[in-house]
Amino acid sequence: MCILQQPKNETGIHTFLLRRKLSFAEYRQYKLILQRCVSIKREDNNDCYIKSYYFASIGYYGITAELTMKDGHASLDLRVNPTNLLNDSYSQTEIFTRRELCKEVASKLNEALSHIDLSVDFFILSRIDLCVNVFMTPQMVETYLKLGKKSYKEYNVGKKLFEDNESNIHSLTVKCASYEVEIYDKEYEVAKRTSEPLPEGSFGKILRIEARLGREYIANHIIMPEKLHRSLNDFLEEEKEILQRIMERCFHPGTYTTLENALVMLDSADFNQNTLGIMEEIFRSKTDIGTTLSTIQQQYGLSDKSIQRIRKKINKANVNMVTLPIRDAKTCGCDFLLGFSEVVRM
């Protein structure tokens, strides 16, 4: 077996969301414009939601407008795919990576908004989706999804499920207050969204890791006064560091490997025999990490600080507490797989 060679990847921005609060007069004005090209429209008493492709209809791809009126409060959201906006066409997998084009994105967006007498300066950056496309074999995509579902930190993040169980098989979403992370088979997602089935066996060539940062997270990172092109540039510049911190918070660290290899790595790390014995019990356990650590703590009468020290020692040995099944190691052709924080750092 081999150590996993670093897979090819690319990091960039998938989409971002601009938001503007509206007066009632502005809401009526934009409703008349946007409902000319409605994709979705829901009205219930005084509440309303309109999703419109108005901008695409006048030649500006990559901009979707969403107009909302709820409980007397109105807003206009613009969901922007910068790659599609600059290319004047739709791309299913391409992401925006070039910092030198951030001003051009803002300029073209201003050009589009001039048709409704607005500019980007009237909006705030409400959400930005940073992502990594990791190119690997279908077997590795499947294995990473299975490992992720076992190794996210339940005490830091919650798991989000789709109503469609098939989508849950091909993806994992975890969330906290200021962001959420989705890891998924990008080609499966494209086929499902476009209703264009891919040939059997062609799923899984791209593992997409996507961090959706909300306004709270953004506000702590942008430079004031807020300028769109500067914010996009700054997030692209710091993207790998941001993604690494997020993945470290969401997932247990260390290299994924088989139980046999994990025990060898721990044994070679020069721990005392008592600590090593406890670690081996943790790794041999068949339950989830949280349950395992709680059981070990009660069994040995350990304090929270003692458990934390054991976790830190395991992390220092760079071995993940979730082990790689031998069957999956054989399928992937490797018995060592990089942890998620290492994958996004490449």
Q: Over 80: is that where the pLDDT of 314 sits?
A: yes
Q: Where are the domains of the chain?
A: 17-126, 256-345
Q: Over 80: is that where the pLDDT of 2 sits?
A: no
- Helix or strand or coil: residue 337? strand
CA dihedral 266, 269, 275, 276 (to 10 degrees): 40
Q: Take residue 1 and report the two structure tokens written for it.
A: 């077996």
Model confidence at 306, in pLDDT bands (50, 70, 90)? very high
Task: Give residue-wise pLDDT tens across range 84-141.
Answer: 999 988 888 899 999 999 999 999 999 999 999 999 999 999 999 999 999 988 899 9
Residues facing residue 130 across a β-bridge: 13, 211
What type of residue is 31? K
Give the contacts of 256 (CB within 8 A, at least 6 positions apart). Answer: 147, 151, 320, 322, 323, 324, 336, 337, 338, 339
* DSSP secondary structure code for residue 96 in this structure: B
Model confidence at 191, in pLDDT bands (50, 70, 90)? confident
Of the candidates 56, 134, 148, the residue with the CA atom closest to the CA atom of residue 95: 134
pLDDT value, residue 204? 56
Lowest mean pLDDT segment, chosen from 163-177, 205-219, 279-293: 163-177
pLDDT value, residue 224? 67
> Is the peptide bond preceding residue 225 cis, with omega within 30 degrees of 0?
yes
pLDDT averaged over every residue in the chain: 90
CB 223 within 8 A of CB 92: no
Q: From the CB of residue 271, how many other CB atoms can be counted at a distance below 10 Å?
A: 18
pLDDT value, residue 182? 96
What is d(CA 56, CA 20) in angstroms, rounded to the nearest whole number? 20
Q: Which residue has the tokens 């997998």?
A: 93
pLDDT value, residue 3? 55
Q: Over 80: is that where the pLDDT of 212 sits?
A: yes
Per-residue CA distances from 156 to 79, 166, 250, 267 (Å): 28, 26, 7, 29
Q: Over 70: is that where the pLDDT of 316 sits?
A: yes
- Region 216-229: mean pLDDT is 85
Task: Give residue-wise pLDDT tens across range 264-275.
Answer: 999 998 899 999
pLDDT value, residue 59? 93
CA atoms within 13 A on the CB side of 293: 17
Q: Over 80: is that where the pLDDT of 203 sits?
A: no
Model confidence at 197, in pLDDT bands (50, 70, 90)? low
pLDDT value, residue 129? 97
* DSSP secondary structure code for residue 122 in this structure: G
Q: Over 60: is that where the pLDDT of 311 sits?
A: yes
Task: Give residue-wise pLDDT tens across range 13-57.
Answer: 999 999 999 999 999 999 999 988 999 999 888 899 999 999 999
Q: Over 60: is that where the pLDDT of 155 sits?
A: yes
Lowest mean pLDDT segment, chosen from 195-199, 240-244, 304-308: 195-199
